[in-house]
Amino acid sequence: MKLLIKSGRVINPSTGLDEIKDILLIDGLVAKIEDEILDEADKIIDAMDFWVTPGLIDLHVHLREPGFEHKETIETGSRSAAKGGFTTICCMPNTNPAIDCKDVVDFVKSRAREKAIVNVLPIGSITKGLKGEELANIDEMVKIGICAISDDGRTVQNSDSMRQGMKIAKDLNIPVFSHCEDETLLCGGVMNSGAVSKELGMDGILSEVENVIIARDIVLTKGTGAKLHICHISTSLGVDLLRFGKSIGANVTGEVCPHHFTLTDKDVSSLDTNMKMNPPLRGQDDVEAIKMGLKDGTIDVIATDHAPHHKDEKSLSFSNAPFGIVGLETAIPLGITELVKEGWLTPMELIEKFTINPAKILDIDKGDIGVGKIADITIINPSVEYKIDVKGFASKSKNSPFHNRLVNGRVEYTIVNGEVVYDRIKDNK
Ligand SMILES: NC(=O)N[C@@H](CC(=O)O)C(=O)O
Ligand SMILES: [Zn+2]
């Protein structure tokens, strides 16, 4: 099988390449990257005016299988990923049962093999049942192929358990993804604590809830040397703590989600439950700090925290609805609209945070277009303007705060192992 991508703007952060090129893919691998390729091919994609980038990698996705298939399945989540331009996604273990032992890892891997159209890398839990105390059998899960450990959705409240988990992760050379929330400070909050929560009469979530654990885990990684990755940073001080951690040589990286650089707690005023997620939408100062952190390289990765919930669950009152929003199909347009168009990031810097940086954290040979490498590639129209429409989402769930939002940028093709798994025109007929 030969696939020829013609005349696209190839943006490859790992080599700094940003030029118009042709790319030939043969049998799942990149065979040539040249100014002009005249070889015959089974299929030709005209990528004129489009960006051709390494396949996007999402470190933070909730696929909900096993246990919550009414929200999403590995199959539908992978279709949503493909439509969003992601060729590799890491799935969080807060399923039922949790991904906390060999059997559940096996199950996820075999479902992914049968049903997923993108690469799915399971994340194992740190503690059994995500209960934050007794460690899961991390060693046996690593042997059969988890890419990281995390209790995401929860924090390992017990600092000693977290430290022991980090020591094991360090020995096994896998990263620890930390969802940062001190439950003793939480007090049942449902949105950011501040003027807006007061006005609405809603219980607030202090920034301290998040910041205390970010600080704790940086301290713990400084001691253990484990590779720590801070999930979904939403606060200004959280960005400063990450910057400080890096400055003292801690082995730490961090991610932010598109909603945290696009929206603020003012958007919660409507009490739309699609504005409810964890961590919550914060203040304008936090949004500015996140954008500064993205720009100066403190924040390594943009991840979606794709958290599908059924419409009946999101129809509950704001206080009772579950935390979380879908994100796979809106990440690239929000990144282009809010960060590139507004001058915060160059296209190269944006793509870096979706490709080579997450690949480095996972220590996998992806996120880089090079001759001989696996052909995972995303093709993006960066300028087209349109309104996001949740009805078109491939995800089973539609819980997005971005319905009807005017954006620029759209994924045209997603290619995994040299095969087109998403073709906008063909797949939306
Ligand atoms: N982010 C969320 O609001 N929800 C996530 C859990 C998580 O990522 O913390 C979920 O699983 O629904
Ligand atoms: Zn989380």
User: Could you give the CA distance from residue 361 to residue 337 in angstroms, rounded to a whole number?
Assistant: 26
Q: What is the pTM of this model?
A: 0.98
Query: Would you say 123 and 176 are in contact if contact means Cβ atoms under 8 Å apart?
Result: no
Q: Binding site annotation covers 286?
A: no
pLDDT grade for 429, boundaries at 50, 70 and 90 = confident
Please tell me the number of the ligand nearest to residue 324's CA: 1
User: Could you give the CA distance from residue 53 to residue 351 in angstroms, rounded to a whole number?
Assistant: 7
Residue type, 314: K
Q: Binding site annotation covers 64?
A: yes
Whole-number Å distance, alpha carbon 52 to ligand 2 midpoint, is 30
Q: Binding site annotation covers 151?
A: no
Strands 2-12 and 17-26: antiparallel
Query: What residue's CA is closest to ligand 1, atom 6?
Result: 153
Determine if ligand 1 sits within 6 Å of the CB of residue 152: yes
Determine if ligand 1 sits within 6 Å of the CB of residue 94: yes
Q: What is the mean pLDDT of the chain?
A: 98
Whether the predicted interface score ipTM is above 0.85: yes
User: Could you give the CA distance from residue 418 to residue 5 in angstroms, rounded to a whole number?
Assistant: 11
pLDDT grade for 135, boundaries at 50, 70 and 90 = very high
* pLDDT surpassing 90 at residue 79: yes
Determine if ligand 1 sits within 6 Å of the CB of residue 153: yes
Please tell me the number of the ligand nearest to residue 307's CA: 1
The pLDDT value given to residue 10? 98
Q: What is the number of the ligand 1 atom nearest to the C-alpha of 94?
A: 11
Written as six digits, the tokens of 80 are 């949503």
* pLDDT surpassing 80 at residue 411: yes
Whole-number Å distance, alpha carbon 53 to ligand 2 midpoint, is 27
User: Could you give the CA distance from residue 144 to residue 213 in angstroms, rounded to a whole number?
Assistant: 30
pLDDT grade for 301, boundaries at 50, 70 and 90 = very high
Residue 170 makes CB contacts below 8 A (sequence gap 6+) with: 224, 225, 226, 227
Region 213-231 average pLDDT: 98
Whole-number Å distance, alpha carbon 154 to ligand 2 midpoint, is 7
Q: What is the number of the ligand 1 atom nearest to the C-alpha of 231?
A: 8
Please tell me the number of the ligand nearest to residue 306's CA: 1
Name the active-site residue from 286, 300, 305, 376.
305
Q: Binding site annotation covers 278?
A: yes
Residue 266 makes CB contacts below 8 A (sequence gap 6+) with: 196, 284
Determine if ligand 1 sits within 6 Å of the CB of residue 420: no
The pLDDT value given to residue 428? 86
Residue 313 makes CB contacts below 8 A (sequence gap 6+) with: 71, 321, 322
User: Could you give the CA distance from residue 309 to residue 316 in angstroms, rounded to a whole number?
Assistant: 12
* pLDDT surpassing 80 at residue 23: yes
Whole-number Å distance, alpha carbon 413 to ligand 1 midpoint, is 28
Written as six digits, the tokens of 373 are 């490498």
Whole-number Å distance, alpha carbon 278 to ligand 1 midpoint, is 6
For residue 271, how many C-alpha atoms fall within 13 Å in the half-sphere facing its CB? Answer: 13
Report every protein residue that has its C-beta within 5 angstroms of ion ligand 2: 152, 179
The pLDDT value given to residue 115? 98
Query: Would you say 150 and 180 are in contact if contact means Cβ atoms under 8 Å apart?
Result: no
Determine if ligand 1 sits within 6 Å of the CB of residue 307: yes
User: Could you give the CA distance from residue 222 to residue 224 in angstroms, rounded to a whole number?
Assistant: 6
Active site residue 423: no
User: Could you give the CA distance from residue 325 to residue 395 in angstroms, rounded to a whole number?
Assistant: 11
Q: What is the number of the ligand 1 atom nearest to the C-alpha of 277?
A: 3
C-alpha distances in angstroms, 384 versus 53, 89, 329, 400, 412?
17, 26, 15, 21, 11
User: Could you give the CA distance from residue 278 to residue 210 in angstroms, rounded to a whole number?
Assistant: 10
Region 296-302 average pLDDT: 98
The pLDDT value given to residue 56? 99
What the chain holds in terms of domains, given with CATH numbers, is 2-51+373-395+404-427 (2.30.40.10), 55-362 (3.20.20.140)
Query: What residue's CA is closest to ligand 1, atom 9?
Result: 153
